[in-house]
């Protein structure tokens, strides 16, 4: 993207503000994982810096006191609170370690519910220099929400469109 995605403005809000507002529609306990220098002193910093999203998930799970943890990235601004309520309800109902959508042939690990116990998988992976999230799923219980199920439940899979390039951001601005 060439700049901090969290600070991009879409429909009058930064992507960070949008994600926080969305998360607050599910719970009052919302935290930011990232750089304290960028986002303030309450930010949860990675224990393993520069290790990508798994480092952020690890830091969030290490800092939490709750069993279930909704993890969201800032670059998926089209997620809906209705879908997140469904996602959390599935996590509660199924009791799996991870509850994660699977769209366009890929997991969406930055819109998922992780039980705190996932920390026990993330920690050794990061220590060993492995930064990928998906390979850890085969070592635990996962509720995989298929794209066909999302469609059947009237959730638009395009809500997972993420903003990685200036072109993605321009399309998002036109999508409003």
Tell which residue, 76, 74, 72, has the closest CA to residue 87. 72
Tell which residue, 58, 97, 82, 72, has the closest CA to residue 15. 72
| Integer Cα distance of 31 and 142 in angstroms | 24
Architecture per CATH, 5-175: Alpha-Beta Complex (3.90)
Q: How many CA atoms lie within 13 A of 18 on its CB side?
A: 19
pLDDT tens digits for 64-101? 999 999 999 999 999 999 999 999 999 999 999 999 99
Q: What is the pTM of this model?
A: 0.94
pLDDT tens digits for 89-138? 999 999 999 999 999 999 999 999 999 999 999 999 999 999 999 999 99
Q: CB neighbours of 31 closer than 8 A, spacing ≥ 6?
A: 42, 43, 44, 60, 63, 64
């Amino acid at each position: 993207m060439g700049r901090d995605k969290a600070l991009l403005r879409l429909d009058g809000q930064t992507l960070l503000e949008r994600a926080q507002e969305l998360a607050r529609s599910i719970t009052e306990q919302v935290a930011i994982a990232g750089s304290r220098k960028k986002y303030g002193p309450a930010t949860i910093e990675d224990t393993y810096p520069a290790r990508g999203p798994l480092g952020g998930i690890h830091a969030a799970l290490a800092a939490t006191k709750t069993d279930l943890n909704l993890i969201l990235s800032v670059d998926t601004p089209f997620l809906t609170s209705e879908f997140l309520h469904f996602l959390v309800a599935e996590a509660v109902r199924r009791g799996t370690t991870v509850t994660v959508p699977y769209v366009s042939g890929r997991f969406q690990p930055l819109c998922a519910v992780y039980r705190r116990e996932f920390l026990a998988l993330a920690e050794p992976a990061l220590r060993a220099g492995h930064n990928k999230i998906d390979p850890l799923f085969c070592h635990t219980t996962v509720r995989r929400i298929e794209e066909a199920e999302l469609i059947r439940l009237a959730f638009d899979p395009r809500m997972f469109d993420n903003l990685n390039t200036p072109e993605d951001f321009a399309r998002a601005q036109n999508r409003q």
